[in-house]
Amino acid sequence: MTSSKPTVLHYVTQWLWLSDTFVHGPVTATEHGKAIVSRGEIINQHVYPYPGVISLTEPDGSLPDEGAPTADVVVAKLGGARPSLVHLHHGYGLPDARAIARRLSVPLITSFWGYDITALPKSDPARFAGAFEDIDRVVVPSRYLARLAREAGASEEQIRIIPGGLDCVFFEPTPLPSAPRVAFVGRFVEKKGIDVLLRAWESVRAGIPDAELTLLGYGERAPETDAGAGIRVLTPDPAEPRKQVRDLLRWSRLYVSPSRTAASGDGEGQHMGNLEAQASGRPVVTTAHTAIPEFVLDGETGLVVPENDVDAVAEAIVALLRDDERSAALAKNGTAWAQNFDVSVAARRHDELYAEVIGADVVN
C-alpha cells in the first residue's frame, strides 16, 4: 500500500498467530505507510494476508540474538527504507523493538494484549528492566490492562486504551436458531475455564437434555468429544479458520466464555470471542473476570457471572436457552454494541496515535 504518511515499522514475534486478529486488522487498515517485520517464520499468511512481510528467520531456522544484533539485521533488511516509528505488537519482543527504535532514532509504541503484561513482568522481569524509559506510548485494549501497565512501570501519560478491532462486516448478525446450541471458541488453556464449563454442562444437560455444546480451539488442555453428553470438540480448520469460527457462531444460539485467572496470574485482556459473538447477534454468557465486563454488558448484551462459579455458569446458560425473548433482546443489543469495536475504529485511533507521536497530520 502506498501512502504519503510517514511509515510505521510493525514488529511482531511471529506473523501471525491465529488468535492475533486484533493485530492484523488495524495494521493492515492503517492509512500510514507500513513495513512489517516478523522475528519468527511467517505463518497463517493465507488467514492474515499481507505482502512483503519480512522474516528474520534464516532458511536453517536460525535467528539473530535479541537486541542490538536483531536491530542490525532489521536495518539491513529494510535497505534504504527508514520508518518514522516502531510499533511493537506484544511485549515479548521488547529487547528487539527497543534496540530497533534506538538504532533508527525513532519513537517506540508498544502494545500489550494479555500474558505479556498480566504475567510476563513477573516471570521474566529482566525483559522489562528499564523498558518503559524507552517507550513513548503504551497501548492496551482495556482499563484492566492499563492498571497492570502502570503497576509494571508505565506512566499515566504513556498509556492509551485502544481496544482490538473486529470485522463487523465479516461477523454480521444472523437470526438466532431455535435449537439449544452453545459454542465456545478459544485456546484450551487454564485461563479459559473449560473445566468450569464442562462441570456446568452436566447441569445444563440435566435441565435441557437435547442441548449441544461445541468447543473450537487448540492447546494442551483439549477436552474430548462426548456424543452422549452432547459435546463435540473441533480443531481449527487449516484452510479457513476464520470462516469456521463464523459458521460456528451462526450455528449456535448462545456463546459462552467462562474465563478465570490462571495460577500464573494470566487473564483476559479483552477476549475477542465475546465481541465476535456479539457482532454475530449471539447473546453471551461470560464471567466477571479482568477486562471482560468492559466488553460484555451484563443484562444488556449478555449475562456476566462470577468466575469459577460452576452453578452460575450453568444457570445462565439454561436461562437464556429457555428464554427466546430475552435472548433476542441481548442479541440485538450486542450487535449494536460491537460496532464500537469495529476494525475501522481501531485503525483510525491508531492513526491518530501515530500522528500524535511523530507529529504528522491526522489522516482524514
Q: CB-based burial of residue 258 (10 Å sphere; 0-12 exposed, 13-18 middle, 19+ buried)?
A: buried
Q: Which residue has the cell 485503525?
A: 347
Q: What is the pTM of this model?
A: 0.94
In sequence order, the β-bridge partners of residue 140 are 161
Q: Which of 21, 18, 49 is nearest to 217 (CA)?
A: 18
Angle between helices 241-251 and 272-279 (to 10 degrees): 60
Distance (Å) of CA 359 to CA 84, 134, 139, 155, 352: 10, 18, 18, 21, 10
Side chain identity, residue 119: A
Q: Which of 311, 340, 216 is nearest to 273 (CA)?
A: 216
Its CATH architecture, for the domain 7-165+342-358, is 3-Layer(aba) Sandwich (3.40)
* CATH superfamily of the 181-341 domain: Glycogen Phosphorylase B; (3.40.50.2000)
Tell me the C-alpha distance between 147 and 150, whole Å.
5
How is residue 128 annotated by DSSP?
Answer: H
Query: Parallel, antiparallel, or unpaired for β 302-305 and 212-216?
Result: unpaired
Which cell numbers hold the place of 58?
A: 534464516
Tell me the C-alpha distance between 321 and 305, whole Å.
16
Gyration radius of the chain's alpha carbons: 21
For residues 191 and 268, is the Cβ–Cβ distance under 8 A?
A: yes
Peptide bond before 16: cis, by omega within 30 degrees of 0?
yes
The b-or-e profile of 93-108 (16+ CB within 10 A means b, else e) is: bbbbbbbbbeebebbb
For residues 239 and 115, is the Cβ–Cβ distance under 8 A?
A: no
Question: What is the model's pLDDT at position 362?
Answer: 45
Question: What is the model's pLDDT at position 364?
Answer: 41
**Angle at the Cα of 165 (from 12 to 145), degrees rounded to 5?**
70
Largest Cα–Cα separation, the chain: 66
Tell me the C-alpha distance between 302 and 41, whole Å.
39
In the chain, ranges of CATH 3.40.50.2000 domains: 7-165+342-358, 181-341
Q: Which helix (H) or strand (E) holds 183?
A: strand 181-185
Q: Which of 364, 29, 363, 342 is nearest to 162 (CA)?
A: 342
Q: Which residue has the cell 484492566?
A: 144
Region of 173 (left: φ > 0; alpha: ψ -120 to 50; beta: rest) is beta
> Which residues lie closer than 8 Å to 189 by C-beta, 6 or more apart?
219, 220, 221, 262
| Neighbour count for residue 150 (Cβ, 10 Å) | 16
Tell me the C-alpha distance between 116 and 93, whole Å.
10
Question: What is the model's pLDDT at position 4?
Answer: 60
Tell me the C-alpha distance between 53 and 15, whole Å.
8
Q: What is the pLDDT along the chain (364 residues), one digit of tens a residue?
A: 345 678 999 999 999 999 999 999 989 999 999 999 999 999 999 999 999 999 999 999 999 999 999 999 999 999 999 999 999 999 999 999 999 999 999 999 999 999 999 999 999 999 999 999 999 999 999 999 999 999 999 999 999 999 999 999 999 999 999 999 999 999 999 999 999 999 999 999 999 999 999 999 999 889 999 999 999 999 999 999 999 999 999 999 999 999 999 999 999 999 999 999 999 999 999 999 999 999 999 999 999 999 999 999 999 999 999 999 999 999 999 999 999 999 999 999 999 999 999 985 444 4
How is residue 11 annotated by DSSP?
Answer: E
Side chain identity, residue 355: A
